[in-house]
Amino acid sequence: MVQPLVNAGRIEDGTVLEFRPVTRPERREMADWLEEEPDRLRAIWRNTKTNQLPLQADGKTYSPSGLVKMIRQQASGVEQHAQGTRHWHVPGEGSLADHAAKGPRRKWPGRGR
Per-residue pLDDT of the chain (113 residues; tens, 9 = 90+): 788 888 888 899 999 999 999 999 999 989 999 999 988 999 999 999 899 999 888 889 999 999 999 999 999 898 888 899 999 999 999 999 999 888 766 554 554 44
Number of Cβ atoms within 10 Å of the Cβ of 103: 9
User: Sheet of 16-19: strands edge to edge?
Assistant: 42-44, 16-19, 88-90, 94-95
Name the pTM for this structure: 0.84
Q: What is the pLDDT of residue 78?
A: 85
Number of Cβ atoms within 10 Å of the Cβ of 2: 21
**Do you know the residue count of the chain?**
113
